Structure 1
Amino acid sequence: MTRDGAGLRVGDRPYRVFGCNTYYLMAWAADPNLRRHVDEVLDTAVQFGLNTVRTWAFNDGEDQWNALQPRPGEHDERVLEALDYVVWQAGRRGLRLILALVNHWDDYGGRRRYAAWSSTAKRADDFYRDAACRRCYRHHARTLVERTNSYTGRVYRDDPTILAWELGNEPRCARDPSGLTLQYWLEEMSAHLKELDPNHLVGTGLEGFWGKWREGRYNPPRWLGGQGSDFLWNHQPDTIDLMSFHVYPDHWHMDEKATMRWIREHLDAAAELGKPAVMGEFGKRGPRALRERCFRKWLDATTSAATDTEHPAAAGALFWALYHDDYPDYDRFGVYRRHESTVDLLRSYTAR
């Protein structure tokens, strides 16, 4: 997989990301009683016509179920083997993976866990500047990049199943609304990953907020401009390949018009920067008919941008979230195999 201007290529063919988020695959694969559910949800992704799955390659802290990194710098071999299994099974089905390396949120440990491990960090956002936190994160990245998969015998950095590493899931740093702290971290860690693994793409995992100084750009709630990130600035470094933005009108109180403006502005910015943009998460609550109408509009926008021969501005989209039939819809964004009309909608975009 290579970046070709604002698009992606596999060999001499264009590649457009069309997939889902299923974040819990590694944790479930670490439980022998649940491993078959991992197979089944990957099978469902194939049945939907998807080609990419975004999932977590982190789970930090002894208090986490099936923790990957129970203590700083220590990785549980049993859970590493579970991640091996996910990568192996995805590859067998022709699926590619985007692997996120840390969480902004407290779920699965997150930056707050790293800060708690450090004797010099006082709060969660210190994760981005504290030397011990940064050292631990770099070690985690190296552990995965240099790991040999116990099922395939292939080193992760050489595995084409992995489409990209994501520096984090929705990183923010509200304690520094100037954006400098997060920007320096993104530059440092993307360079670290590129040095370890020149074979794979690197993305940010950002939600796509604009800095409050960015004139004329639209943040749904205006306070999101103070979260220490800026979509254009954060994706400028040469060591970052994939531009990331998310779409959650229910969380950000956007109506249909505002949501379409949000998507268009990010695709236009990606064309301006000349890099591929992935709508890395998009979700909608409410009646399924409403969700499907929104999905259709959003996917139409990204599909049209991706196929614009003059200036392709989108590498694809990943909905939130594909759940196994036995997984509870705790966030009310879940898409299930039994949602036949949604399946038909998604398959129609596979053909396009």
Structure 2
Amino acid sequence: MLSRRAILAAGAAGLTAGSAALPTLAAARPGFVRVENGRLSLDGKPYRFVGANLWYGAWLGAPAAFGDHARLARELDKLKSLGVTNLRVLGAGERSPAKVAMDPAFRGPGEDYDQTLLTGLDVLLAEMAKRDMKAVIYVNNFWDWSGGMPAYLNWTGNGTWFQQGDPAHPWPAFADYSARFYADEKANALFRHYVKALVGRTSTVTGKPYRDDPTIMAWQLANEPRPAGSEEFGKVNRPAYDAWIDGTARFIKSIDANHLVSSGSEGDMGCLGSEACVVESHKTPAIDYLTLHVWPNNWSWISMTDQPSTYEAGAARSRDYIRRHVALAKAMGKPLTIEEFGLIRDGRAFAPGSPVTFRDRFYRMVFDEVEADMKAGGPTAGVNFWAWNGEGRAQHADAWFKKGDRSYVGDPPQEEQGLFGVFDADASTLAIIRDHAKAVRAI
């Protein structure tokens, strides 16, 4: 177990390493998203988007038995028809003993990265380029459904590994364990080696280096990186967390000065409930814009078992959460994207086309907030709903993902397939997304 002194020393070292001047951002090039006056811009105009999460895009694009290039093309066409022009996708994945972890993965503990999956990412980006879409690629995960930080800790022997949800390690034990990653130099050396290979990659499809591809909007450090789960460990681990965000963002920019970098943070719910934590960890100039996730079911704002009687209060709390972070972004002079949000189906159902009364209301509320801020000239650039299931379907009666399944959906393996994701059969939700896209185009 790392001592407080070791964690603080690692944090201080990271801050020192990250204090060097940032590489000069490459001169404005056509098609690359930029930050101008606290807002995202594209070719001299405000960049506003309606987006989705399609974390499994590289798996579909892979030239292998587990891939499905034809389905990938159909899904992108469907999303494009809805007005979706921005996709948040997973560009990493680590082999893990977790029962719900993705397999195959992009890498194991060595440097033998899975070229089939990397080619799948090449295919995804090439197909997105054909449809004038932008990608946000995240390169790590706080949660273990894609291996993530716990997989790195397992490889370096940093404490006893256990998977999320293990009853022998109740919350916040998992979050405290995963957050040890930031101060583990051996784990970060493995991570940085992969990041260098990925960010410095040249596409096998287009022959274009990733750094020269305007299809990529941004690199993202991780999915929902948190400084800790408990207040006690958070006080000790915050220096390492802040240093990791700054240092990793600078490392990416040293390889690729053409693209934006974001953290993947949920906002203050992922920062020990502290707006000050969000500000301190994101004030570095290496982080170009703020991110926000809104999960009222998971945060117990709206009950998983009684949405009807808890919806109004939970939606109001979610609206306030969005507005507070819009104000925070404005005060910091940085753009904001709401890159994850969702609500379960009525009665906690999973089937495509089953009622989504409260989800539709929630989507409308989020979209209304976004449109209002855009019209007011605020920092909000767009949203990515969680997540696109499309024509994917659960392969088992209990709706749980099992290793070897190939009908990928947006609900990751740690959740029932259909819990939050939007299927191609969810007509009412698709209409709401389409209407929002029309409204954003008109602003």
- So what's the TM-score if we normalise by structure 2? 0.72
Instruction: Find the counterpart in structure 2 of residue 203 from structure 1.
Output: 262
Instruction: Report the 3-state secondary structure (helix = DSSP H, G, I; strand = E; otherwise coil) of the residue aligned with 1:315.
Output: strand
Report whether the alignment pairs 1:281 with 2:340: yes
Instruction: Report the 3-state secondary structure (helix = DSSP H, G, I; strand = E; otherwise coil) of the residue aligned with 1:177.
Output: helix
CA distance in 1, matches of 2:206, 2:386: 29
Amino acid at match of 1:291: R
Does structure 2 retain, via aligned residues, the 8 Å contact 1:22–1:53? yes
Instruction: Find the counterpart in structure 2 of residue 220 from structure 1.
Output: none
CA distance in 1, matches of 2:103, 2:192: 23
Amino acid at match of 2:226: R
Does structure 2 retain, via aligned residues, the 8 Å contact 1:246–1:282? yes
**116-125 or 153-162, which moves further after superposition?**
116-125
- Could you give the per-residue CA deviations for residues 307-336 of structure 1, whole angstroms, max 9, x where no partner exists? 313xx1211111000113123362511112
- Could you give the per-residue CA deviations for residues 230-259 of structure 1, whole angstroms, max 9, x where no partner exists? 222222110001201100111112212111
Distance 1:341-1:211 versus aligned 2 partners, 3 A rule: closer
Amino acid at match of 2:363: F
Instruction: Find the counterpart in structure 1 of residue 56 from structure 2.
Output: 24
Does structure 2 retain, via aligned residues, the 8 Å contact 1:40–1:324? no
Instruction: Find the counterpart in structure 1 of residue 94 from structure 2.
Output: 60
Instruction: Find the counterpart in structure 2 of residue 225 from structure 1.
Output: 273
1:159 pairs with one of 187, 194, 213: 213
Instruction: Find the counterpart in structure 2 of residue 187 from structure 1.
Output: 246
CA distance in 1, matches of 2:104, 2:261: 26
Distance 1:263-1:201 versus aligned 2 partners, 3 A rule: same
Amino acid at match of 2:240: T
Instruction: Give, in angstroms, the shift of residue 289 of structure 1.
Output: 2.3
Does structure 1 retain, via aligned residues, the 8 Å contact 2:338–2:382? yes
CA distance in 1, matches of 2:145, 2:269: 25
Distance 1:172-1:36 versus aligned 2 partners, 3 A rule: same
Instruction: Report the 3-state secondary structure (helix = DSSP H, G, I; strand = E; otherwise coil) of the residue aligned with 1:249.
Output: coil
Instruction: Report the 3-state secondary structure (helix = DSSP H, G, I; strand = E; otherwise coil) of the residue aligned with 2:298.
Output: helix
Instruction: Report the 3-state secondary structure (helix = DSSP H, G, I; strand = E; otherwise coil) of the residue aligned with 1:82.
Output: helix
How many residues are matched? 338
Instruction: Report the 3-state secondary structure (helix = DSSP H, G, I; strand = E; otherwise coil) of the residue aligned with 2:330.
Output: helix
Instruction: Give, in angstroms, the shift of residue 210 of structure 1.
Output: 5.7
Instruction: Report the 3-state secondary structure (helix = DSSP H, G, I; strand = E; otherwise coil) of the residue aligned with 2:76.
Output: helix
2:201 pairs with one of 141, 147, 163: 147
Instruction: Report the 3-state secondary structure (helix = DSSP H, G, I; strand = E; otherwise coil) of the residue aligned with 1:250.
Output: coil
Report whether the alignment pairs 1:130 with 2:177: no
Distance 1:72-1:140 versus aligned 2 partners, 3 A rule: same
CA distance in 2, matches of 1:17, 1:276: 13
Does structure 2 retain, via aligned residues, the 8 Å contact 1:120–1:132? no
> What is the aligned-residue identity percentage?
29
Instruction: Find the counterpart in structure 2 of residue 5 from structure 1.
Output: 37
Report whether the alignment pairs 1:322 with 2:360: no
CA distance in 1, matches of 2:379, 2:42: 17
Instruction: Find the counterpart in structure 2 of residue 39 from structure 1.
Output: 73
Instruction: Give, in angstroms, the shift of residue 177 of structure 1.
Output: 1.1
CA distance in 2, matches of 1:325, 1:119: 40
1:81-100 → structure 2 map (5 Å cutoff): 81-100=119-138
- Could you give the per-residue CA deviations for residues 105-134 of structure 1, whole angstroms, max 9, x where no partner exists? 011111011111114566533211111111
Instruction: Find the counterpart in structure 2 of residue 333 from structure 1.
Output: 420
Larger radius of gyration: 2
Does structure 2 retain, via aligned residues, the 8 Å contact 1:61–1:70? yes
- Could you give the per-residue CA deviations for residues 171-215 of structure 1, whole angstroms, max 9, x where no partner exists? 113163122221110011011111111100101101112698xxx
Does structure 2 retain, via aligned residues, the 8 Å contact 1:207–1:245? yes
> RMSD between aligned alpha carbons?
2.0
Does structure 2 retain, via aligned residues, the 8 Å contact 1:183–1:229? no
1:177 pairs with one of 217, 234, 243: 234
Instruction: Give, in angstroms, the shift of residue 104 of structure 1.
Output: 0.4
Report whether the alignment pairs 1:293 with 2:356: no
CA distance in 1, matches of 2:178, 2:325: 28
1:87-126 → structure 2 map (5 Å cutoff): 87-119=125-157, 123-126=177-180
Does structure 2 retain, via aligned residues, the 8 Å contact 1:6–1:274? yes
1:168 pairs with one of 222, 231, 239: 222
Does structure 2 retain, via aligned residues, the 8 Å contact 1:280–1:317? yes
CA distance in 1, matches of 2:216, 2:49: 13
- Could you give the per-residue CA deviations for residues 79-100 of structure 1, whole angstroms, max 9, x where no partner exists? 1111111111111111111000
Amino acid at match of 1:39: A
Report whether the alignment pairs 1:252 with 2:299: yes
Report whether the alignment pairs 1:302 with 2:370: yes
